[in-house]
Structure 1
Amino acid sequence: MASAESYPSLVLNADFRPLSYFPLSLWCWQDSIKAVFLDRVNVLSEYEHKVSSPTCSMRLPSVIALKEYVHLDRRPAFTRFNVFLRDRFECQYCGDRLPAEDLTFDHVTPRSRGGRTTWENVVTACQSCNLIKGNRMPFDCGMVPLNEPEPPSTRTLQQNGRAFPPNFLHESWNDFLYWDSELEA
């Protein structure tokens, strides 16, 4: 029998959309049960697995929806991961798509030349392209980013995240993921 740790809950906003697609919004079973008892969520689906205390027993939540709508930030946080997600995990110099651990980010205008660490000046790069470009300006080395770097919207990051499904998807989540995408005929 699997341990309770292998029973995460998919967390949906009050409009029944995932709080995020990538990384997928998941809570551990302890946080889910706590939210149930604090009446902060509705349980939409449950696992067969139960947990018990001296006074009660309950099935672990598989899908929960927040009772109060959480407004997503209008501007996503500037993080390494969000830069990778904006650029779809593709090196903006050679176009190779790689896992996050094989990527880095590059300052289009190097910091030593006045470049800042902003959405407009940072792109995803593979390690070899980053080494080749080094401390040079894009036109000096013939390495111009494939896409002009710009701040992404939360919606753009959500859409890009859908292209990278998580490693684990419980069957009870299928009805709640990607439901706003076009259905097959």
Structure 2
Amino acid sequence: MIRPVLSEDDASDRIADNYEEVCVPRQVLVLNTTYEPLNVCSLRRALILLIKEKAEILESAGIKIHSERLTLPMPAVIRLVSHVRVPPGLRRRVSRRAVLARDGFRCQYCGSTRQLTLDHVIPVSRGGTSTWDNVVTSCSTCNVKKGASLPSEIGMAPKQRPRPPSLIELLVPEGYELPISWQRYLGLATA
């Protein structure tokens, strides 16, 4: 069993009784060898990459993780040892999770946060496609009201123009506060 302990600065090096007491990060930022953000993975996956020496720790959470035979700093940001080729112009597929995250989990017509679905701004029956610039978050009421109509026909335009999601919207799960240790790797560091 792996248990976190308080930071190495803590002279007692005591084992934490509760994960929440030490703010155990549930997600770890993964960078390519070029320091380009690739993904966010679970703590478990990051530890496996570190143990197999496929990644190195760039930022830790100030907590040590102990197993029967190993002690590691708890990673917050890791960098892969081998380069992962990302094809130029690679676009992420449109997915329900990514559209909802991009739109802040709010209906783009009325602002509701209940019974959310996806809506094609230009309906598929009228030649619309499932692309980032044509799919928005909609509550079921607005989706039924709009139906197969064009926004101009019934005066229902999305509050924001649909667009591909930003890197942060794709990497950081909704409701997850962006860790300070990630900011400089995502180009958000403040002076």
- TM-score where L is the length of structure 2: 0.65
- After superposition, the Cα gap between the structure-2 partners of 1:122 and 1:33, relative to the gap in structure 1 and judged at 3 Å, is closer
Which residue, 136, 153, 164 being the options, matches 1:140? Answer: 153
Point out where structure 2 has 5 or more consecutive residues left out of the alignment.
1-16
More relative contact order, 1 or 2 (CA 8 Å, 6+ apart): 1
RMSD across aligned C-alpha pairs, in angstroms? 3.5
Does residue 1:11 correspond to 2:20, yes or no?
A: no
What is residue 2 of structure 1 aligned with on the other side? 18
- After superposition, the Cα gap between the structure-2 partners of 1:146 and 1:77, relative to the gap in structure 1 and judged at 3 Å, is same
Q: Return the letter of the residue paired with 2:30.
A: L
Point out where structure 1 has 5 or more consecutive residues left out of the alignment.
none
- After superposition, the Cα gap between the structure-2 partners of 1:41 and 1:128, relative to the gap in structure 1 and judged at 3 Å, is same
Mapped to 2, the partners of 1:159 and 1:7 lie a distance apart of 17
Does residue 1:52 correspond to 2:67, yes or no?
A: yes
Does residue 1:183 correspond to 2:152, yes or no?
A: no
What is residue 174 of structure 1 aligned with on the other side? 180
Mapped to 2, the partners of 1:8 and 1:146 lie a distance apart of 33
- TM-score where L is the length of structure 1: 0.66
**Secondary structure, counterpart of 2:29 in structure 1:** strand
Does residue 1:82 correspond to 2:98, yes or no?
A: yes
What is residue 43 of structure 1 aligned with on the other side? 57
What is residue 47 of structure 2 aligned with on the other side? 33
Give the drift of 1:145.
2.7
The percentage of counterpart residues that share the same residue type is 28
Q: Return the letter of the residue paired with 1:121.
A: N
Q: Return the letter of the residue paired with 1:128.
A: T
Q: Return the letter of the residue paired with 2:65.
A: K
